[in-house]
Structure 1
Amino acid sequence: MKAFAQYGKCPSRGRYQNWWRTKSELLSDYLNDITGAAAGLGRQLALLFANLGAKIVCLDINEEGNDKTAQMVKETGAVVASYKCDISKRDQIKDIHQRVKKEIGPVDILINNAAIVWGHIYLDPTKDQLIDDIIDVNLKGQFWMNREIIPSMIDRKSGHIVTISSLAAVCGVAGISSYTATKWATNGMIESMRNELNELNELISSSIKTTTIMPYFINTNPKISERLDCRYIKMCK
């Protein structure tokens, strides 16, 4: 974000703004859609973009935490709305974004942040449902979010898809095989999507961009550490 502040370039629309714009105006009138906004990294991203002047949509299955994030964003003076949403449910995504478009406007920047991380031994037969849940949220949820948002970006010839992946996408860590699998798959999905969008950008002179971020373990919630095999925590220290 420092680079954008220095050169005054808005990241999603790809155009140069007046160099005297303040930091709080960089994303003025841009609508940011953030999944997993109820706590941790999602909450911090919501506050970051709010302080850059963006309008914020908070999505999370945790309604109480999501509303708290929205209140914190509101206190910055930003426009904000919160919606309870299970991104593993395609119908919920569709219904909510029809409301978002009607009540606030089209999404300029989508931040796919929501994910389930839970440690388990690969051969543990008691974790079958957990594996399904992780895949449904971490991978399929991003499929549904992207497919819901990108068409309106194509219509406006601008937009930015930000994917919060993980270093687990390039390193198979013992004890989190299902989480790791979804992150490898997500990176492959985004690379394929990026190539398709690049072809489209040339064809219709649009500027729809993608960014993939791969952080390592961020201990934003002690309960998460309790779910993980200790080998992963030690590796990340």
Structure 2
Amino acid sequence: MKVAGKVIVVTGAGGGIGREIVLSLLSKGASVAAVDINEAALEETVHQAGGKGRVLSTHIVNLVHRESVEALPEKIIASHGTVDGIINNAGIIQPFVGIKDIDYDKIKLVMDINFYGTLYMTKTFLPYLLERPVGHITNISSMGGFLPVPGQSIYGASKAAVKLMTEGLHSELQGTNVKVTVVFPGGVGTDIMKNSGVGGTTTADTNGQDMSQLLTPKAAAAIIVKGIETDQYRVLAGKDSKIMDKLYRLNPKRAAGLITKKMTELLKGKL
């Protein structure tokens, strides 16, 4: 789906990849409904976009609350007249601890935001998208959604759920006007760790890489928007995601071992 002239909803629009997606879409002539739980972060996105106008609206929504998500389409339509696509980018990570040590409240929060938030958005907006001449749903999974990362098993499980749900949705919507894309970012230099309230300076999306080697949020956003415009089924954002995708298909145990070694070194402070 070409984004020029389309109205697209972006969650997690207050920073990182989400903010850069907003800016990329606007630069290509799309109108954007920017969604985030953080009002100040959304205001900064508006500032970087050059001010709030007809083509950019902001919506403060907690994606955990299904009723709030279900009220969103009509608010966006009131601002923009319609909606043509959604990009479910919002997500959080977990503390870097094993399943034995993570508490159930944190497990529930990670699953609620990463999986259920994506599900609520998808299910809520799908009827509206089916009424459009063309529509698009893009869900952001993670390299951690197909490759296990020690200390991020619940995060990975939530992103694996997003992966399979999105792939299933793609199959269900064959023959309709709505296209579906699932995205697997590798290491991206974002503030997901800080914004998730788990402390530290290295994001889950880094998977143990040196920050200088990471894909920038702007570069990741460009890859994602290109994937939307070319109706790609799967988008692997970053060389690491592409390499590990191939390796995991060939030898899952070896791929998991490499990530385990890298994360062990990272957490011991050797990187």
Fold-level similarity (TM above 0.5)? yes
Q: 1:94 maps to which residue?
A: 70
- In structure 2, the residue matched to 1:120 is 97
Aligned residue runs from structure 1 range 139-218, under 5 A: 139-198=115-174, 201=175, 206-218=176-188
Distance between the aligned counterparts of 2:145 and 2:178, measured in 1? 24
- Between the aligned partners of 1:154 and 1:225, the Cα distance in structure 2 is 42
**What is the match of residue 207 of structure 2?**
232
Unaligned runs of 5+ in 1: 1-10, 13-26
How much has 1:89 moved relative to structure 2?
0.9
Go from structure 1 to structure 2 and tell me whether the alpha carbon gap of 1:75 and 1:102 turns closer, same or farther (over 3 Å shift).
closer
Would you say the 8 A contact 1:120–1:228 is kept in 2?
A: no
- Quick check: 2:190–2:203 contact (8 Å CA) kept in 1? no
SS of the equivalent of 2:62 reads coil
Inter-CA distance 60–76: structure 2 relative to 1 (3 Å threshold):
closer
Cα shift at 1:71? 2.9
TM-score by length of 2: 0.70
Corresponding residue for residue 9 of structure 2: 33
Runs of 4 or more consecutive aligned structure 1 residues displaced over 6 Å after TM superposition: none
**How far apart are the structure 1 equivalents of 2:52 and 2:113?**
30
Q: 1:219 aligns with which of 161, 171, 189?
A: 189
For residues 135 and 227 of structure 1, do their structure 2 counterparts lie closer, same or farther at Cα, with a shift above 3 Å needed? farther
Q: For structure 2, list consecutive stretches of 5 or more residues without a partner in the other structure.
A: 210-261, 264-270
Q: Paired residue for 1:103?
A: 79
Q: What secondary structure is seen at the aligned counterpart in 2 of 1:214?
A: strand
What are the superposed Cα offsets for residues 97-120 of structure 1, whole Å, 9 maximum, x if unpaired?
211112212221210000011232
Quote how far apart the aligned CAs of 1:66 are: 1.1
Matches of 1:77 and 1:155 in 2, distance apart? 26
For the aligned residue pairs, the C-alpha RMSD in angstroms reads 2.3
Q: Secondary structure at the match of 1:102?
A: helix
Is residue 55 of structure 1 aligned with residue 31 of structure 2?
Answer: yes
> Aligned AA for 2:181?
T
Displacement of 1:70: 2.2
Per-residue Cα deviation, 1:139-196 (whole angstroms, up to 9, x for no partner): 0111110111110111224201111111111111100011000111111101111111
Q: CA deviation at 1:73?
A: 2.1
**Any conservation in 2 of the 1:88–1:137 contact (CA below 8 Å)?**
yes
Q: Which amino acid aligns with 2:97?
A: H
Number of equivalences? 205
CA distance in 1, matches of 2:50, 2:75: 19
Q: Is the 8 A contact 1:51 1:76 kept in 2?
A: no
Identity over aligned pairs, percent: 27
1:16 equivalent in structure 2 = none
Secondary structure, counterpart of 2:44 in structure 1: helix
Q: Offset at 1:78?
A: 6.8
3-state DSSP of counterpart to 1:209:
strand
Structure 1 pair 162–96 and aligned structure 2 pair: CA distance change class (3 A): same
Give me the whole-angstrom Cα distance separating, in 2, the residues matched to 1:194 and 1:112. 15
- Relative to the length of structure 1, the TM-score reads 0.79
Which letter does structure 1 place at the counterpart of 2:112?
Answer: D
8 A Cα contact 2:34 2:42, kept in partner:
yes
